[in-house]
Structures are given as structure tokens and as C-alpha cells.
Amino acid sequence: MPKKRHLNKYSKPQSTAPALLSSTAARRNDSHHDDPSHGRGVNELLAGLRRTGLSGIPQQAPDVVRPSVPPAIRHFLQIPETPPPRPRRPVRGSAAGGRPPAGPAPPRSWLSRPERAANALQRMAIPSGASDHEQRALPGPSLPARESLIGMILRRFALDWEWQRVYCQYHLYELPTNLRIALIAYLVTYTAEGVSLRDLQAILLPPPDVPEYQDDPALAPSVVNEHFTYLDLSGSIGRSIKFRELSDLLFPPKPKDDDLQDSWDEPEQAPAGIPRLLLPNLTHLSLSLDPAYPHAVSWRQLLAFAAHLPGLTHLSLAFWPEPTLTPNAKLATVVSPETGRTVQYGGTGPYSHSLDDDWTEQVLLLRRLSRNLYGLEYLDLTGCGAWFPALWASAGEGDTIDWTGAWGKLTTLVMFPGYRLREDAEPEETSRYWEFVDYAKRVERHVRNQRAGKGRFLTVETCKRPGEL
């Protein structure tokens, strides 16, 4: 039976190389004959490359680290100078002078929007009038910018605070410290009544119905709030929170004698521990008042409150009334049982300042405050122009405020009048306004003369007269 024949689907490759390959091979052979390194060993090729690198011919890998050679040996061996490293890529800077975040710069169209330009100018502008300082914030930790994502979230959070305080009651205590500080500042700004006692308890204290917070010492309020150094209560004292409520919250009362252990020899009865401070490292505190609302504040309570804060460095008492222990007894009089004469009931009478120029009570109270707050470095007295003279006056026995001892660390004193001077103001109002400014400058001269260049330099911030540098 004849065999079937199958046609080959693929042709047999050529026995000879194509003309293109043959010409390429010929050129390669010719180049090998012309190249002096053809036939040389690997060591000879490496030695030639080293000599080529030292002779100054640029290499493809300039980042190779070469060992340094002393100048004397380099001159003796006739080794050329090592080329310097390539310059680093310049660091991109921002308009504010700092280093911008990673990534490309934002488009110019974003930065040219009117609202962004206005916000940038508002942050960079230096306020020059008293109206810009009515609600002056204490210098301290930088709060999130209003146009930032965190700023928008906190603002929305503060506007819906009545609902958020209940809905997020189990999460507020676990927020980072910087966010809780910013949240209280936003509540002061965007709520009508300021911060209340319930608000502070929701932010600074753990939920009472969660046993994990009560049993774990690492979650105690004094431990969680260890880095809480800034507390802004502007416009809240006397309106939404009382001084006594704030004092009981920050400084828990000591246990009664009945709760203490009678003897240390009784191991079955654990002694009741003294409660720790809620904010043990508080350094910045704003107790400024809102001048648009009357407040029931007491200097007696302030002195007792300040006794617990010897480490306070920044304090705001803006728009506080004059220091006195009997604010409602200016017109009250009593009859002395010994002499039968009518004498003044309180330490300050209706004519003590205007006719007698008597600031004895104010000086004594400020001296007590300075002894409690001996670490103070920044004091804001905006809107307190009515009792500015007490800062340089002397008491009956020549006692004045100790600017070199108790308040020797004070370096910044803010003394703005605290209200806007209208263009159509009466001459008496204009004169009173600039009188407060002159009081501030007199306090600055008094403190500098008392320190006589031996203490820290004091700067008094106040308004400037038109044309004054």
C-alpha cells in the first residue's frame, strides 16, 4: 500500500546566515580588531576603568562614594582632586516661610479665590484697634484653621452640640487632647451661652455608666487629662457656669474625716485616697467676661480658685470688675458702736477713687492674687481700665504690687480699652478712651522702674495714638 505523502507546513531554515547578519558580524569583528581592549582580561578592564575615572572623564555613576585621601598623599601619588558631590535639589518653601506639606503645590486658581484671600489676610493682619481685642485669645496651642477640614467639622459639631453631647457621650472622653481643647474653644465661639458644667463633664470626665473607665487606673481623668494645658472659658463664667461649680470640678473636695482610715495597722481597710486634680498641668486659663451681659463674679472666689493653680502661666481677666470683697456695699454705711460715727461698710466707698484717690483694697487683693499666681507670665486685663491705677498705686502703709518678686516673671501685660472708639464720639468719651491708653503706658514705666533692669523685660500691649509708631 503506497505511503501517504504529507506536505511540509514549515520550510527548512537556511543553512547560511542572512546577508544582514553577516554584515553585522563582519562589522563586529572589525571593531574587535580595532579595539585595544579586545582580548584583555577582566582585571585589566577594571583597572582601565579606574584609571579612566581618576583622569577626569565623567562616569555614568557619579554618586559612587570614593574614600577620601589626605592632601599630602594625594599630591605625592599625583591623584587628582575628588569631584564634589552633586548639589541637592532645593527644598520648596511656602509663602509663610515654613516647609509646605508633601505633594505638589496647590493651583493658583485655588489661592486666588476671594474668600481664601480674605482669610489669609485676616490671619496675617495685625489688629490695631481696641475693637479687635475685645475677645483676645490666649497665646498657646494652635487651633485648627477655620477653612481646614478639622475646623469645619468642629464648627458643625459645636452648632449641633446639644444633640452631639448625647449621641457621642461615649466617645468624647477618648478624643485626643488637642481636639478636646479645640472643641471647648469652638463651643465658646459658636454657642450662645458658652460652656456649661455639663459640657465640661462630658469632655473631661468618663461616662459614669461604663465600669471599664472606673476600674482601670490608666483611664483615670487625671491621667487622660495629663496633657490638657489650655482651657478657654471666655464669656462663660457667671452665665453658663458658676465659679463654685468650676472649682468643684477641677479641684475635687477632700474626703471627710469619717471616710478616712482610723489606723494604718488595719490592712483590711484601704485608706481613702485624696482625689487628684482633674487638670494637673493646666497652664493657660481664660476667665474673660462678655461685656454685653452682666455677670455675678466674685473676687473672693477668684482668690480661693487661684490658690489651686500655682503653675498657671497665662491668665485672662478681661472685663472683670474692680477688685473688691463687697461689690454691693459701696453705698452702705454703719454706725460705729465705739465712736457713734457713721463709717463706710466696705473697703471701697463711692468717692474712694474720684476724690480720695484711695486704691487700698484693690492693691491688697491684687497682692494676694500675685502670691497665689507667682508663676504668671502673661496677664490680659482688657476692658479693666476703670481700675488700671491700682496697678501702680500704694496702700496705706506703702504696700504696692510686687512686680519684682511675686509677679517678677510677668513679661506681657495686655491693657486695651476693650471697646470701639466711634468717629462721632463725644469729647468726654474720647478723652476717657485715651486716658485708659495713658494708664497702660504709665503701668509699663512703673514696672520697668521698679525692676530697674534686674528682672525680666515687661511689654504692655495697648492701642496706639494716631500717627504713633
Mean pLDDT lowest among 309-318, 342-351, 398-407, 429-438? 342-351
Q: How far apart are CA 218 and CA 213, in angstroms?
A: 9
217-243 pLDDT, tens digit each: 888 888 999 999 999 999 898 888 998
Segment 63-77 mean pLDDT? 73
Question: Can you give the pLDDT at residue 179?
Answer: 92
Q: What are the C-alpha distances in Å from 361 to residues 114, 332, 333, 382?
A: 53, 16, 17, 21
What would the mean pLDDT of 297-306 be, rounded to a whole number?
A: 92
Looking at residue 118, its pLDDT comes to: 43
* Banded model confidence at residue 97, pLDDT cuts 50, 70, 90: low
The answer, yes or no, to whether residue 26 has pLDDT greater than 60, is no
The burial class, CB within 10 Å (0-12 / 13-18 / 19+), for 329 is middle
Antiparallel, parallel or unpaired: β 333-335 and 342-344: antiparallel
Bridge partners of 284? 230, 314
Predicted confidence at residue 250, as pLDDT, reads: 92
Structure confidence at residue 217 (pLDDT)? 84
Q: Is the pLDDT of residue 304 over 60?
A: yes
Sheet holding 230-232, edge to edge: 230-232, 284-286, 314-316, 378-380, 412-414, 459-461
| Residue 251 in this model has a pLDDT that exceeds 50 | yes
pLDDT level of residue 407 (50, 70, 90 thresholds): very high
Q: Is 176 exposed, middle or buried (0-12, 13-18, 19+ CB in 10 A)?
A: exposed
Q: Which pLDDT value is given to residue 62?
A: 47
The 3-state DSSP class for residue 460 equals strand
Burial class (CB in 10 A: 0-12, 13-18, 19+), 315: buried
pLDDT at 20: 46
Contacts of 448 (CB under 8 A, 6+ apart): 457, 458
User: How confident is the model over 384-405, as pLDDT tens digits?
Assistant: 999 999 999 888 777 889 999 8
Q: In Å, how far from its chain's centre is CA 14?
A: 84
Cβ atoms within 10 A of the Cβ of 431, count? 10
Please answer whether residues 187 and 231 qualify as being in contact, where contact means their C-beta atoms are separated by less than 8 angstroms: no
Higher pLDDT, 38 or 176: 176
Place 270 in a pLDDT band, splitting at 50, 70 and 90.
very low
426 pLDDT more than 90: no
Q: Is the pLDDT of residue 423 over 50?
A: yes
Beta-strand pair 314-316/333-335: unpaired
